[in-house]
């Protein structure tokens, strides 16, 4: 089945307002005419509107890096899905390993975030991945199975099409170590199979599965040439317009 490749940039806690604007403008300018690949930029919360305005009128979408699963109320410091939509977001990243490990998010909170964001109308980039110790113990599939099962529990079937899964082996994020194309392909096949079991065969075939973990211009083409690697979630290399655009172009050789 032909799935549209999807490359998203996770800017994490980097950029100033000026740098965010320049980066979004640079990506927009260098990608002019590129329409075969879905592209999203995920800046820090304070720059969402600015980035949305900068890419307005282009096919580039905007995503947030987190969401809080409540409608409104006394939740100091938190931001809900309606606010993200209002700020111009189409996507939100949920379950990133940095939030799982540094902030301590568990599968239950992640599941509430996924359901809240989908219900509001956002598309969710749902991140899963194993640590090096888990891989070394041959537990990769069990860990991913758990993350998929609990993280996506209760997602209504009519919202599944707004889910994207990002396979991000924790040992490859920000480390310069990348899964080989064969390793990524093997895991993506497993994810698609498990997703099909959880939802339906059609949903599994349609699912866009990004690979994330030290994707760079020089490894992107090989990774994304694998039949089940449908794009990339890019951290470090998304902070420079040239390298991010090179990765987008590698998705569409």
54 binds ligand PEP (CB under 6 A): no
Binds ligand PEP by CB under 6 A, chosen from 9, 213, 217, 231? 213
Binds ligand PEP by CB under 6 A, chosen from 215, 220, 241, 247? 215
For residue 6, give the 3-state DSSP assignment. Answer: strand
41 binds ligand PEP (CB under 6 A): no
43 binds ligand PEP (CB under 6 A): no
Report in angstroms how near the CB of residue 216 gets to ligand PEP at its nearest: 8
Catalytic residue among 105, 134, 168, 188: 168
CB atoms within 10 A of CB 169: 27
Residue (of 31, 24, 12) closest to 55 by Cα position: 24
Contact 228, 188 (CB under 8 A): yes
Determine whether 47 is exposed, middle or buried from the number of CB atoms within 10 Å of its CB (0-12, 13-18, 19+).
buried
234 binds ligand PEP (CB under 6 A): yes
User: What is the C-alpha separation between 63 and 213, in angstroms, rounded?
Assistant: 18
Report in angstroms how near the CB of residue 220 gets to ligand PEP at its nearest: 10
Give the range of 36-44, 61-69, 143-151, 231-239 binding ligand PEP by CB under 6 A: 231-239
Residue (of 64, 50, 45, 40) closest to 20 by Cα position: 50
235 binds ligand PEP (CB under 6 A): yes
130 catalytically annotated: no
User: What is the C-alpha separation between 230 and 224, in angstroms, rounded?
Assistant: 6
Report in angstroms how near the CB of residue 233 gets to ligand PEP at its nearest: 5
65 binds ligand PEP (CB under 6 A): no
Report in angstroms how near the CB of residue 163 gets to ligand PEP at its nearest: 17
Alpha helix segments (H runs only) across 152-240: 181-198, 201-206, 217-224
168 catalytically annotated: yes
Pairing of strands 91-94, 61-64: parallel
x/- binding map, residues 153-192, to ligand PEP, per CB under 6 A? ---------------x----xx------------------
Residue (of 209, 217, 152) closest to 186 by Cα position: 209
Residues that bind ligand PEP (CB under 6 A): 10, 12, 168, 173-174, 212-215, 233-237
Catalytic amino acids? 96, 168
């Amino acid at each position: 089945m032909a799935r549209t490749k999807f490359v998203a940039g996770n800017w994490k806690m980097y950029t100033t307002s000026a740098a965010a604007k320049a980066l979004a403008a640079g990506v927009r300018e260098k990608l002019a005419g590129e329409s075969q690949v879905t592209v999203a930029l995920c800046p820090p919360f304070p720059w969402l509107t600015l980035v949305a305005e900068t890419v307005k009128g282009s096919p580039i979408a905007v995503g947030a890096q987190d969401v809080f699963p409540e409608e409104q109320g006394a939740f100091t410091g938190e931001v809900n899905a309606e606010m993200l939509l209002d700020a111009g977001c189409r996507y939100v990243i949920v379950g990133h390993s940095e939030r799982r490990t540094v902030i301590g998010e568990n599968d239950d909170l992640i599941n509430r975030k996924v359901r809240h964001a989908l219900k509001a109308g956002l598309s969710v980039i749902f991140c899963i991945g194993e640590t090096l110790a888990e891989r070394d113990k041959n537990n990769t599939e069990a860990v991913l199975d758990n993350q998929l099962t609990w993280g996506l529990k209760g997602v209504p079937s009519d919202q599944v099409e707004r889910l994207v899964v990002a396979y991000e082996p924790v040992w490859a994020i920000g480390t310069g170590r990348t899964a080989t194309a064969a390793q990524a392909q093997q895991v993506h096949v497993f994810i698609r199979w498990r997703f099909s079991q959880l939802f339906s065969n059609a949903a599994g075939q349609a699912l866009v599965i990004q690979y994330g973990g030290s994707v760079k211009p020089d490894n992107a083409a090989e990774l994304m040439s694998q039949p089940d690697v449908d794009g990339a979630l890019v951290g470090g290399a998304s902070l420079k317009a040239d390298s991010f655009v090179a990765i987008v172009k590698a998705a569409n050789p």
